[in-house]
Amino acid sequence: MRGSGSSVDTVDSVTVRDLSWQANDSSFDHILDELQWRGYIHVSTDLDALRKRLDEGPITYYCGFDPTAASLHLGHLVQLLLLRRLQLAGNNPIGLVGGSTGLIGDPRPTAERTLQSRETVAGWVEKLRGQIEGYLDFEGEHAARMVNNLDWTSELTAIDFLRDLGKHFRVGAMLKKDAVSARLNSEAGISYAEFSYQILQAYDFLQLHERYGLELQTGGSDQWGNLVGGVDLIRRVTGDAVHALGSPLITNSDGTKFGKSEGNAIWIDGALTSPYTFYQFWLNTDDRDVVDRLKIFTFFTRAEIEEFAAKVENEPFKREAQRALALAVCSIVHGEAAATAAEAASQALFGRGELRALDADTLRSAITELPHVGAKLGDDIAQLLVATGAVDSLSEARRAIKQGGVSLNNEKVDSDQRVLEAGDLLPGNTVVLRRGKKTLVGAIVD
């Protein structure tokens, strides 16, 4: 199967991946057919015209990423994979990091963004640049290119902004855009800085069109107003027709927001979201969502995904689709070795693998995902069960041990007076406790 298999290295802050195994599905007659089947296209300017243009030869296209945090998250992963799929179809990608637009930020629905210092934004630009570069091929006939919009906006004066750009935008149309209208109707209102963001994004499209012959911009459907603003600006300034594709904002079937885990964003930077946590996020995908996630976030073929869909329908308890999804996406983002280690940790925690064979970093990441406490040698196992919340009282803990219902590192605890010993420590000075079959807790010994 082609859903996973990448390796990852880091060279001078740039994530380098083996992309040679990635391919589009040859069962589709056209790249747009595959993108539609997979769910990448929610809205577009003119799909028929874009199809005709793609048939004529390579097209140059881009997506922009603003440095509003130190890492991209799962919402951005949709666009990174869309960029890659279009490149695999023989087109020329440009990844843009918004060194200037990141200083302002596009309007949020409820309140102004907190402006970051120029130094902070510059640091985030470098981090995001390294992340984006890891998903594209920078060699060969359709080599990717990276740009920073600060290169052309830094020389733009206020007079130039108003005279050469502002004259092409009608305030009435700008006010109708969802992000702007939501803020206008809120108590916070909207500043002129964030109101003008859409002009700057349109200017990026114009600059890339004039510099590199760029003809297509992709983005999330929440950016649609900004995308078509660029299409309109290019038409007004040059008379040329260009294209835009908007991907759907992904939500879960239960109504919760995709890409969140207990209120926290799932980052693609392993230092912010560990590979184990990342793997577990995908492993916990609802049966109702897993097939759609396989389509968008993996390189499994249509035939392979249809096989997984049948397994979800007929044998959902086996969770084969979720395991394949978790391993595949974790491999794409963190590399095959990290994904395999995360998978092994997940299995070992539930007694289906050897805990001592895991590396220290993976084990510590796994333990921090469980209810856990700090501990020291000589601590009473029963008391650790209480401290971690596995049981409600010391008497309950001792009773569970006597009944054979407690294990330490997947081995049954045979005495209710058992204490933590040096030989119990796993890599990373960790221990894993289980109460019954499903209640897992842990401790880190420092």
Q: Is residue 34 part of a domain?
A: no
Q: Is residue 148 part of a domain?
A: yes
Q: Is residue 173 part of a domain?
A: yes
Half-sphere CA count of 28, side-chain side, radius 13 A: 17
- pTM for the model: 0.89
In terms of domains, do 202 and 55 share one?
yes
- Tell me, what CATH number does 181's domain have? 3.40.50.620
Q: Which residues make Cβ contacts (< 8 Å) with residue 203, sequence separation at least 6? A: 152, 153, 156, 165, 230, 233
Q: Is residue 412 part of a domain?
A: yes
Q: Report pLDDT digits (tens) over 131-163.
A: 999 999 999 999 999 999 999 998 888 888 888
In terms of domains, do 60 and 208 share one?
yes
Return d(Cα 22, Cα 81) in angstroms, integer: 11
Q: Is residue 110 part of a domain?
A: yes
pLDDT (average), residues 251-264:
80
Q: Is residue 241 part of a domain?
A: yes
- Tell me, what CATH number does 394's domain have? 3.10.290.10
Q: Is the pLDDT of residue 36 over 80?
A: yes
Return d(Cα 97, Cα 89) in angstroms, integer: 23
In terms of domains, do 383 and 239 share one?
no
Q: What domain range includes position 431?
A: 370-446
pLDDT (average), residues 201-227:
94
Which of the listed residues 231, 249, 267 is the one where a domain comes to its end?
249
Instruction: Please give the pLDDT value at position 351.
Output: 80
Q: Is residue 229 part of a domain?
A: yes
> Tokens 């990290």 map to which residue?
338
Please provide residue 176's backbone torsions phi and psi, each rounded to the nearest 5 degrees: -80, -15
pLDDT (average), residues 166-184:
75
Return d(Cα 403, Cα 416) in angstroms, integer: 10
Q: How many domains does the chain have?
A: 2
Instruction: Please give the pLDDT value at position 13.
Output: 46
Identify the weakest region by mean pLDDT among 15-19, 66-70, 100-104. Answer: 15-19
Which of the listed residues 215, 249, 283 is the one where a domain comes to its end?
249
Q: Report pLDDT digits (tens) over 353-409.
A: 899 999 898 899 889 888 999 999 999 999 999 999 999 999 999 999 999 999 999
Q: To 5 degrees, how large is the angle CA 183–CA 73–CA 98?
A: 65
The DSSP code for 57 is S
Question: Are 324 and 308 within 8 A, CB to CB?
Answer: yes
Question: Are 33 and 302 within 8 A, CB to CB?
Answer: no
- φ/ψ region of 65 (left if φ > 0, alpha if ψ in -120 to 50, else beta) reads beta
Which of the listed residues 249, 271, 302 is the one where a domain comes to its end?
249
Instruction: Please give the pLDDT value at position 1.
Output: 47
Q: What is the mean pLDDT of the chain?
A: 90
Q: Is residue 316 part of a domain?
A: no
